[in-house]
Amino acid sequence: MSRENNWDWGMHNPSGCGISSLMSLKRKLFRGNLVVRSLDNMVERGNGLGAGYAGYGIYPEHEEQYAFHLMYENIDARNFTEEYLSRFFKIFDDEPIPTRPMPGIRTAPIFHRYFVLPTEEALGTNISEHAADEFVVRHVTEINSSQKGAFVVSSGKNMGVFKGVGFPADIGGFFRLDEYQGYCWIGHSRFPTNTPGWWGGAHPFTMLDTAIVHNGEISSYGINRRYIEMFGYRCTMMTDSEAIAYLFDFLHRKQRLPLELIPAIFSSQFWQNIDLMDEENKKLHETLRQVYGAALLNGPFAIVVGHRQGMFGLSDRVKLRPMIAARKDDVLYIASEEAGIREICPQPDTVWMPRAGEMVAGFYEEAGK
């Protein structure tokens, strides 16, 4: 996808960014316009250069297939990419992603979705879920780095990402999110700093079922990018947020590290604090710093990550970006501001401010795929 397409409106402003998310531990369904309302209530945190949403549970009729959301610059890019997909995947269904005209959307790429599985011939004798995931990652990476004018927006099962250049209400209306129902929604309103505001550069960033939204700036991006690209990932979006999505996929899915260890890598304790720990914890944190030190995220950040088992939020180790959490019955909320939560949940059971580097996590009951 061309980065020189005038979709950034020529604006480059200081950082703000808004995050909002909600998930039902019992997988109750919510319409997508709920998270749109929450972000729209914090509209001043963005400047119209990007907004986006990830919905989980939105494709129950295709829950066993990978849902590919693709963005095309033109019809030729679509034709070339569809020919590529047909060589490696069985396409069960495909269609344009429904949109509606919105006054705030000046121009938009072509959006199409495909429900696919790797063909038996392409996958070979290894038909495990892990092998299929690796196959999908390899070909998504190939499309995003080599197929001119094409970009895979998301590629997970029973989930999808909808994002572009506009304010939260513009993007939510454009993609008709009020017509979708999901049990987890994460959203982002962008205020870009060092990267252009273009349709593919809006959040969330994804890999398979992982979708991440991020407020902040990762000063360790160069180290993080070189590290993750050692393992076959390719960062093509010109943004630090993309690297976080790949780091999480690598650590949790490929390295199979427990989710509770992720803060000790992304938002690691300072060495002087590690020295004060008991011997067992000290050894664990020292080992994680030594083995995965290049995955430490330096700089101010607040992130929310959706994944197969649930959702979590995490801030940097001195909390230079805001994050608020709340619970109401079985629903977990995480947002940049309490106002964003109370817009859609006026009377939560509890509201709290997570401490620096403290993970807030929710897991689906009887978690599945």
- Tell me what pLDDT residue 15 has: 42
Rounded distance between C-alpha atoms, residue 138 and residue 233, angstroms: 8
Residue 238 above 80 pLDDT?
no
What percent of the chain stands above pLDDT 90? 79
pLDDT digit string, tens, across residues 218-234: 899 999 999 999 998 99
Secondary structure E strands in the chain: 18-24, 30-31, 51-56, 66-72, 89-96, 110-118, 150-154, 159-164, 181-182, 184-189, 205-207, 210-216, 301-307, 310-315, 324-328, 331-335, 350-352, 360-363
- Tell me what pLDDT residue 10 has: 43
Tell me the C-alpha to C-alpha distance, in Å, between residue 135 and each of 43, 77, 88, 155.
39, 22, 9, 12
- Average pLDDT on 20-44 reads 95
Rounded distance between C-alpha atoms, residue 308 and residue 299, angstroms: 27
The total of other beta-carbon atoms located within 10 Å of residue 363's CB is: 15
Rounded distance between C-alpha atoms, residue 52 and residue 186, angstroms: 8
Burial pattern 242-274, b for ≥16 Cβ within 10 A else e, equals: bbbbbbbbbbbbeeebebebbbbbbbbbeeeeb
- Residue appearing with tokens 């939510």: 172
- Tell me what pLDDT residue 216 has: 86
Rounded distance between C-alpha atoms, residue 184 and residue 41, angstroms: 19
Task: Flag whether the pTM goes above 0.95.
Answer: no
Residue 170 above 50 pLDDT?
yes
- Tell me what pLDDT residue 5 has: 45
pLDDT digit string, tens, across residues 299-352: 999 999 999 999 999 999 999 999 999 999 999 999 999 999 999 999 999 999
pLDDT digit string, tens, across residues 180-221: 999 999 999 988 766 667 788 889 999 999 999 999 888 999
Residues labelled as active-site residues: 17
Please tell me the number of Cα atoms within 13 Å of 336 on its side-chain side. 29
- Domains, the chain, ordered by start: 18-360 (3.60.20.10)
Question: Which residues are CB-neighbours of 369 under 8 A, at least 6 positions away?
Answer: 63, 157, 158, 209, 308
- Tell me what pLDDT residue 198 has: 78
Helices (H), the chain: 33-40, 75-88, 120-123, 129-146, 168-174, 221-229, 240-248, 263-266, 271-274, 279-292, 338-342
* Torsional class of 329: left (φ above 0), alpha (ψ -120 to 50), beta (otherwise): left
Secondary structure class of 300 (helix, strand, coil) = coil
Rounded distance between C-alpha atoms, residue 229 and residue 266, angstroms: 17
Residue 57 above 60 pLDDT?
yes
- Tell me what pLDDT residue 194 has: 65
Residue 368 above 50 pLDDT?
no
What is the distance in angstroms between the CA of the first residue and the CA of the last residue of the chain? 30
pLDDT digit string, tens, across residues 89-147: 999 999 999 999 999 898 999 999 999 999 988 887 777 888 999 999 999 999 999 99
Rounded distance between C-alpha atoms, residue 101 and residue 103, angstroms: 7
Tokens standing for residue 238: 């010109």
Alpha carbon dihedral 36, 162, 159, 26, in 10-degree steps, equals: 0
